[in-house]
Structure 1
Amino acid sequence: MAKRRNDVPTESIALRAFAVLEEVVRAAAPMSLDEVTHARGLPKPTTFRILSLLQSAELLRREPLTKRYTVGPRLTAFALDLWRQSTLRVQWHRVLEEAVAEIGESCNLTILEGDEVLYLDRVETRRPLRLHLEPGTRVPLHCTASGKLFLCQMSRDQVRRLMGPEPLESHTDKTITRYADLFDDLEKVLATQVGTHDCELFDDSVAIAVPIADAAGYIYAAVAVHAPSSRESIESCMRHLPALRKAAARIGATMMPPPAELPGSPVATVRRGPGAAKQGPAGPVSSTSSAKRRGASRAPSRRPLR
């Protein structure tokens, strides 16, 4: 039997590859070879071999222009199968049903999937006038309430790299198509932690969304309410924030266990308000953005795949 190189146990190699995979999955935008190497503290040749292996297995995808690595089609399919088969989905659906019963409008649960928003689940209102969208629906980031929540935690460079050159695709006469306007909107979203959609993707449709975030404030999912603009406005939707945040908290509590804390240690909370984040020259970026999450403070994370 051939001797294994350096007698490294198979599980060590597998776990090392899984750690690299985790790093790319958690990143707010596609990562370069140097960024993955620095984040994992591995030799560059080793990182490259692992990334190439994951790419060949279609677990990761390498962007042809930027040469950066992002989630591949096989990993996406695997993640979605996990979401669909999870017994927790029954609990999430029940929470959405209760939110719809309280609010009276359609509610949905979304995640970031590549450069789109993916509907994990949705419960429609019983009112005859409504926008019908099925779970599995994908919508753009720049003109949806949930999408703006996911974008607001990225730097301007990351947003541009993810969205591509302007003008951004227009869907209605109210769609934001210029980055200057989008960044202004994202600053408001970052400060309020409320994403908005005002007839930007669909005519006669408004929506607001609230985040589901981990202990570090990283937004990995969102809960939103949709309504016809003939029945609701952005302003009137704001009265539903308590119900939405309650639903988001309940769903978030099932997605990951509470962090272990030492007696007397402060409880980590999601950043809210203008004083909760700093805006650097690169744009609306949280002070604990992806660079910091991948840097020195490498606390264990329980973020699900996205």
Structure 2
Amino acid sequence: MAEPQHLAGAAGKASPGAGEEASDPNFMTSLARGLSVIRAFTEREPNLTIADIAKITGLPRAAARRCLLTLMQLGYAGSDGRTFHLKPKILALGYSFLSSAPLATILDPLIEQVSGAVQESCSAAVLDEDDVVYIARAATKRIMSVGLNVGSRLPAYCTSMGRVLLAALPESELDAYLSRVPLKPYTERTITAVDALKRELERVRDRGFSLVDQELELGLRSIAVPIHTAAGGVVAAMNISAQAARVTCPEMEVQFLPHLHRASEEARVLLVRSRGV
């Protein structure tokens, strides 16, 4: 399956506005620049030159060079003399989140359980900026042309987990999202009209789940449910993805949705026990 060009950098794009100075006196520009450099590296582009980093992040070449050399001195990056790459030590940054976040800790075994029961890939994600970010994943097969792992990012508007999370936003936050995010077509099925997307999100709220049929990638279907707190808020989403040739949309609702609902309810109970949410 050929990889859509739109997805090429979806798993690790740099922060928008990374090269801009912040007016907040508490804002550390050097730290923000360093983080934008780290996020420039992706699965498709694991080796980058200083010029590459500067282009991706919007930083001056001199600033990109200083960030890279600092990361090298700290053991987070390496170089062959021309290009730079991240080193395994960088995983410690993500592990700090996973080991301290009860949400990820709770969802991981539930994701494995659901994936084992249906023999399909299962994931959990949260909304971060304008994307969904994967915080747990159990993959049985590589069903997408882009490899997905914990930390991967995908657009919210055309993914099942993203729509579940967008549907839970207050109206003002959803309107702000729709006003700033271009609804680009990933396939000919992608909803790109704001009014149509709003109607679909209303449908998601009414039904309590989202089913996306080949809008992110042809041949891929996904169904997702929200994960609630005791107070009713939505803190994450959980989905099952499958090849369209193997399962129809109605079959996904019948075969997969009950497993997702049970796991979501178990996650809600465990979250209450762990932190009284």
The answer to whether the superposition gives a TM-score over 0.5 is yes
TM range (shorter): 0.5 to 0.7
Whether 1:251 and 2:267 are equivalent positions in the alignment is yes
Identity of aligned residues (%): 25
RMSD of aligned alpha carbons: 3.0
Residue of 112, 121, 128 corresponding to 1:113: 128
Q: Alignment partner of 1:99: what SS?
A: helix
Aligned mate of 1:85, from 99, 105, 110: 99
Aligned residue in 2 for 1:241? 257
**CA offset at residue 217 of structure 1?**
1.8
Unmatched segments (≥5 aa) in structure 2: 1-22, 33-91
**Which amino acid in structure 1 is aligned with residue 27 of structure 2?**
S
**Which SS does the other structure have where 1:187 is aligned?**
helix
Letter in 2 for 1:208: I
Give the CA deviation at 1:259.
8.7
Correspondence list, 1:263-302, <5 A = 302=277
Structure 1 length as normaliser, TM-score? Answer: 0.55
C-alpha displacement of 1:204: 0.3
Q: TM-score, normalised by structure 2?
A: 0.61
Secondary structure of 2:262's partner? helix
Q: Which residue of 2 aligns with 1:143?
A: 158
Contact 1:166/1:179 (<8 A) preserved: no
Cα separation, 2, equivalents of 1:79 and 1:154: 28
Matches within 5 A, 1:146-185: 146-165=161-180, 168-185=183-200
Displacement, 1:250? 2.4
**1:150 offset after TM fit, Å?**
1.1
Q: Relative to structure 1, is the Cα distance of residues 101 and 166 closer, same or farther in structure 2, using a 3 angstrom cutoff?
A: closer
Q: Do residues 231 (structure 1) and 246 (structure 2) align?
A: yes
Is residue 109–residue 223 contact of structure 1 (8 Å, CA) maintained in 2?
yes
User: What letter is aligned with 1:198?
Assistant: D
Q: Do the aligned partners of 1:206 and 1:226 also contact (CA within 8 Å) in 2?
A: yes
Structure 1's unaligned 5+ residue stretches are: 1-50, 62-77, 261-301
Aligned to 2:63: none
How many residue pairs are counted as aligned between the two chains?
A: 191
- Matched residue, 1:99: 114
Q: What CA deviation, in whole Å up to 9, does each residue of 1:168-226 have, x standing for no partner?
A: 11111011111110011011100011012110111100011011111232111011000
The code of the aligned residue for 1:216 comes to A
The code of the aligned residue for 1:254 comes to L
> Who is 1:46 aligned against?
none
Distance in 1 (CA, whole Å) between partners of 2:179 and 2:94 is: 25
SS in 2 for 1:56: coil
Match of 2:4 in 1: none
